Structure 1
Amino acid sequence: MNIQKIADRKLLDQRVIHMPWFVQQFIDYKLPDLSPSTLLEYIRDYEQFFGWLIAEGLSSAQKNTEITLHDLEVLHMNSIVGYRLHLTTRTEGTNSRITVSRKMSSLRSLFHYLSQIAEDEEFYPLLKRNIMAKVESKRIHKPKDTAAKLKGKILEEDELLDFIAYIHEGYRIDIENNKQALHSYELNKERDACIASLILNSGLRVSEVVNLNIEDIDVTNKLMYVYRKGNNDETFKSPVYFREQSKDELDAYLFLRQSRYRTPKKEKALFITLPNGQSEGKRMTKRAIQAMIIKYATRFGKPYLTVHKLRHSFATDYYLQNDIYKTKEQLGHASTETTEVYAHLTDKTMLEAIEKRS
């Protein structure tokens, strides 16, 4: 099991015991098919929903474990409408349409399981009435809409190389009067440039970067072996190629990985951090990599640039030179529908698509 999944599984085990028994049963049912990260999101969604039920007096429970199947059976449609209003207008930091759609989908999954799959000792459904079956499932993120939101917020053409070059040299000029920032930069610039280059030349997700181990890299053949999202076979790592442009950054970083970060031989992680006051380096976290990219992107003049937008930047550039099926395979998408985003991201792509139809 990869590093992120281990952490999420531990957190899932800690939180699921505070759920009603039938939710615990549902999570056990889903565990073989869904990642701990996804199930953890389910738990968070149920915590919010049950908390709202209690606050609104729709359940006499004092805590989540006391929520009953009867509480769910007697919900009216106006209660579900009220909860959606709560999510969109009555909470601090109101949720986006996509987030609300996902939270409602989590509830639909639970209610479907309780009413259609799970049964009591007499073989009757645990839930006799499924109010969520009446709630429409609307497709929120269409590829064209997602592309419109990304337009102008990714790196294009020469900007991919410019951003890596900025991490190598340009950032130093911008912080030359800040001794503390300069010291940290000089320590980490090769590593940071390597991470950015690897994403911009392969399209890895941040979780895939975090989970990379030293033995997963084959620099000679420009190949990595990664745990892909959605693959529940914990023993299988997918081969992913990276472009020639990343070889120099990888070689430079690998040369100093052990000595500069005091990396113990037992540490398998590819990307290492050496926290202040620590005697040994350890694996970088997802949050640290995200913060690092934002730090450089802000000074680079693109504060909206994130790790995931670096992935989008690679994907758009790659799609211009390859077909949708190769792009899907390279990115590890489950469906070409997800990959369609990149067909809408540039005028050039759309023009080519139209010309092919004429």
Structure 2
Amino acid sequence: MNIQKIADRKKMDERVLNMPWFVQQFIDYKLPDLSPSTLLEYIRDYEQFFGWLRGEGLSAAENNATVTLQELEVLRMDSIVGYRLHLTTRVDGNNSRVTVSRKMSSLRSLFHYLSQIAEDEDFYPLLKRNIMAKVEIKRIHKPKDTAAKLKGKILEEDELLEFIGYILEGYGSDIENNKQALYNYELNRERDACIASLILNSGLRVSEVVNLNIDDIDSANKLLYVYRKGNNDETFKTPVYFREQSKDELQAYLAIRSARYRTPKREKALFVALPNGHQEGKRMTKRAIQAMIIKYASRFGKPYLTVHKLRHSFATDYYLQNDIYKTKEQLGHASTETTEVYTHLTDKTMSDAIERRSEV
């Protein structure tokens, strides 16, 4: 059972009720192919767009649920340009180019469905005129550009081991004068080091870490069984290898998991937390893991380091020793195009290695 997917499906089912009927129909159409997390983002994008339409007087609807197809049909190109401008310059904490591109793609997907796929009772398209067909959405996520942004913001070479060591020992020295922080650290350091170690030695996504259960571990064969992103088959878990280096952290955490966190037998989650005021341990959340990594990273001197950048750190290190196809499989990418970022990230590392070899 994919815990994150269940939570997102619940939120999606709740929020889609406040959408127009044709959006609800679109979400039902996409549900077999896209994850609830992706569809929830679609709904959030439509909430923002319909809210803007109403605020600009381009829809007379009293709420988002009553926006009509006719109001979408008569939108002009200058309205779409205005909305894009709104996203880039008039929203608090302006959206990045990548975010704007994603939001516009969400709209284009909806308009395409309404004009090309969905039909009324007379077999005509629900939307007779598709303004979004005129909108060009440029590809933003170029591997080389992504690599340039990541350089200097991930762990390299010996830093992978140093970061795990810092969680186990160094952080405690840095906060020894803060009794509350020190207490929390000593309670959780084995667990936190295990999480960081597994990501740095397998490349798991944070959602995959959250969903791990005790039964998903095969220590003898260094395997984890995970629900991979994009795989909607709830009966299948993908085997993912982890390096030998993680075994010590994993064993140390498992030795204290039940007693220290007062974890009941019915709780199958691998990584658990014991929140203040609670009598039993329960599955850690995605947000808790993200905050935990940021806490250690800031003290470690890598303030830009996040859970996802730990995954990038593993992937860069792994790619130096393997080809792009093995890296793609290990990371669970849908295509090698996504994996290409590591060919650019390792350019400098490879050139440095050549220079070091020439000095010998």
Contact 1:343 1:349 in 2 (8 A): no
Aligned match of 1:151: 151
How far residue 349 of structure 1 moved from its aligned partner, in angstroms, is 5.8
1:346 paired to 2:346? yes
User: 2:55 and 2:321 mapped to 1: Cα distance?
Assistant: 54
CA RMSD of aligned residues (A): 1.1
Q: Say how many residue pairs are matched.
A: 353
Aligned match of 1:64: 64
- Runs of 4+ residues over 4 Å off in structure 1: 348-352
Aligned match of 1:105: 105
User: 1:217 and 1:146 mapped to 2: Cα distance?
Assistant: 32
SS at match of 1:53: helix
User: 2:93 and 2:275 mapped to 1: Cα distance?
Assistant: 32
Structure 2 gaps, min length 5: 355-360
SS at match of 2:4: helix
SS at match of 1:240: strand
1:257 paired to 2:235? no
Cα deviation digits, residues 231-251 of structure 1 (max 9, x gap): 011111000000000000000
User: 2:268 and 2:322 mapped to 1: Cα distance?
Assistant: 34
Which amino acid is 1:277 matched to? Answer: G
Aligned match of 1:232: 232
Structure 1 gaps, min length 5: none
SS at match of 2:203: coil
How far residue 137 of structure 1 moved from its aligned partner, in angstroms, is 2.0
User: 1:74 and 1:114 mapped to 2: Cα distance?
Assistant: 14
Aligned match of 2:175: 175
Which amino acid is 1:6 matched to? Answer: I
Contact 1:19 1:65 in 2 (8 A): yes
User: 1:350 and 1:318 mapped to 2: Cα distance?
Assistant: 13
Pairwise mapping of residues 204-353 of structure 1 onto structure 2 (< 5 A)? 204-348=204-348
User: 1:303 and 1:239 mapped to 2: Cα distance?
Assistant: 32
How far residue 31 of structure 1 moved from its aligned partner, in angstroms, is 0.5
Aligned match of 2:121: 121
Cα deviation digits, residues 285-339 of structure 1 (max 9, x gap): 0000000000000000111100000000000000000000000000000010000
Aligned match of 1:31: 31
Which amino acid is 1:196 matched to? Answer: A
Which amino acid is 2:291 matched to? Answer: A
Query: Measured at CA, do residues 350 and 111 of structure 1 come closer, stay the same or move farther in structure 2, by a change above 3 Å?
Result: farther
Which amino acid is 1:129 matched to? Answer: R
How far residue 148 of structure 1 moved from its aligned partner, in angstroms, is 0.1
Cα deviation digits, residues 51-79 of structure 1 (max 9, x gap): 00000000111101110000000000000
SS at match of 2:258: helix
User: 2:190 and 2:299 mapped to 1: Cα distance?
Assistant: 18
Which amino acid is 1:100 matched to? Answer: V
- TM-score with structure 1 setting the length: 0.97
User: 1:225 and 1:241 mapped to 2: Cα distance?
Assistant: 9
How far residue 346 of structure 1 moved from its aligned partner, in angstroms, is 2.5
User: 1:51 and 1:348 mapped to 2: Cα distance?
Assistant: 46
User: 1:311 and 1:346 mapped to 2: Cα distance?
Assistant: 15
User: 1:264 and 1:256 mapped to 2: Cα distance?
Assistant: 13
How far residue 141 of structure 1 moved from its aligned partner, in angstroms, is 1.1
Aligned match of 2:73: 73
SS at match of 2:170: helix
Percent of matched pairs sharing the same residue: 86
- TM-score with structure 2 setting the length: 0.97
Contact 1:153 1:305 in 2 (8 A): yes
User: 2:193 and 2:101 mapped to 1: Cα distance?
Assistant: 37
How far residue 348 of structure 1 moved from its aligned partner, in angstroms, is 4.7
